[in-house]
Structure 1
Amino acid sequence: MNTYPDTKETMALIKELTEIPSPSGDTEKIIKFIENLIRDWGYEIKRTRKGGLLISARGSDDTRHRFLTGHVDTLGAMVKEVKSNGRLKLSRIGGFNWNSAEGEYCEIHTSTGKVYTGTILMHQTSVHVYKNAGEAKRDDDNIEVRIDEKVENEKEVRELGIEVGDFVSFDPRPVITESGFIKSRHLDDKASVAILLRLLKQIKDEHITLPYTTHVLISNNEEIGYGGNSNIPEETVEYIAVDMGALGDGQSSDEYTVSICAKDSSGPYHYGLRRHLIDLAKENGIAYKVDIYPYYGSDASAAISAGHDIIHGLLGPGIESSHAFERTHETSILNTEKLLYAYVQSKMVTL
């Protein structure tokens, strides 16, 4: 086990995925993109009723299965109200603070398929007009979208076809730097999805027969809590969510290693599986960190909450400034690729 997916190609795929709008609830375009990408790779592919994508590789042992997830749904918003001044009030999709989206360019996706651009702003933005521009609360009442169309009232906005319930996506602005960083919105969790897709391509290209039948679920409702809690075959023993490691004060994870989660807001992850991942990292010279995420939940914890009798784990690249202006480094991507490559070819945890 000494070859891994090409990290430069993974980074390019991450950038491509981030550029496809996919707020939770409006993920058809990106799911179709992935479906077309992998169509000729020889895997069993199934659309779930919730709109996700289940990719299956038959292994030597078809009586015990492994299950990996990564999610393509992202943070975003929905039109809550068309205001009398021709601007839009928003309702948030997913858990983020408005200050992290203030000033961002966005797109309004209408039910007719027409897309309009705009900017997310405070109502009291101009310091030349509003004395309290800096102190006003960043909340649902004060944040609004300035549409890039000649509209001055509610009637003119509705004539464009913009209505309550239309999805609003945020401009990801992905950049890959010469120093090896990728910075973009929505690296949570499109970085992990790209890693999983590249892993599937590597398995195909190297004609690897996995020891156990292994499923990869591209889930599409994780940001709202229930992306990976269904379509889990009864034979599944081990379930790993591939998702970001959250960085900040008191955290051990960084942008250069693979993060292995010991515990999040749902409680501890399976200790035996965590030890197995750590042992694989040590055996293969993979740089890793073990961490606890106090305000975090994953598709794996959602599956446990749904009552599935599985062993669950969580690993992924370290993502700086999660749910805001995210960034990671190619070495974190590489270490995550290495660990997953070793894991899918390893023996299961002994129960």
Structure 2
Amino acid sequence: MVAIHNNAPALTLRAGTDAIAHLREYGLRAGDVDIVPGAAGGPKALGINGLDQAVFGDFLPRAPRRRTLIGASIGSWRFAAIAMGQDPAKGLARLAELYTCQRFPKGITSREVSHRCAAMLSDLLQDRDQHILHNQNYRLVIVVIRSRGLMARSGGLGLGLGLAGLIGTNFFSRQATGLFMERGLVYPDGSPLPVGPLNDFTTHHISLGAENLRAALLASAAIPMVLDGVTGLPGAPDGVYRDGGMLDYHLDLPYQSRGIVLYPHFTDRVIPGWFDKPLRWRNGDPKRLRRLLLVSPSREYLASLPHGKLPDRTDFKHYLGDDAGREAYWRKAVGESQRLGDEFLELVESGKLMDRIQPL
């Protein structure tokens, strides 16, 4: 689909203090980007597919180097699609189409949703697991949580009570949610991760290999009550592993970048945990994000889309019984997102990027 261009800015750009200083002196150079986060957000990823294709299919390949991709939930799937072959844009397009074609009838069980997502992952990766594990340019980090207490229940009332306790606890103290979940970072052995000490929550560092790649990707997207958790993640402490976005929704981590942390994102706000979404006072730590450049759709761009928003999980309910209508809407959003990528590349090449950057 050909994107519709207009004069309104399609992108919002925000940056941390050190990133602003770096960009003011050097501009945005592909070789300076060493970390890319990928947030949880389900179908919202389709709404920035064109931006992802521009970043990974055009901009970053101009200066190949070892980069760390840290993804939670759909963020980890985006990065797997990027790292699985020689053509990141093709992998991203395939992920968008596979996700768009998923159909979930009313009353479907979490077990059946899990089976369908596993089949989708198999269709996406095919036999390219080793490409991901041994990619010379991209080192994948998959973010999961290890469930504690009632959050480790398989479903029903027990898990529901665990979620209620987690939500209530989080309102008063994000740190206290460690009673319900622990962080898991699944990545290949080798050099240390480019993040500072993670003292906020118990964190497990888990070796990523062929035996647990797919299980880790499924765990990272396992929304409680929607998908089943993954039990017995190979190489990890015993437990039930679920969606990493519950704890690290927008990956507010202490990045240790020597250049720029480039963040193609769904929104211009960094929200620490999934349950922090309605808590407007709880945002990312500026000290952790001082080298971050966040690139997201502008309000004007969102207003131009059908329903005035990016695709999201509520669309399954809104279009219940009309899968063809939802699929058409999502494909239009994917097509329109080429505007995001076009504008990003134009800002980089014109040298006008600094004119648009706001403080984070």
Give the structure-1-normalised TM-score. Answer: 0.26
More strand by share: 1
Compare relative contact order (CA 8 Å, sep 6+) and give the higher one, 1 or 2: 2
Higher helix share: 2
* Structure label with greater radius of gyration: 1
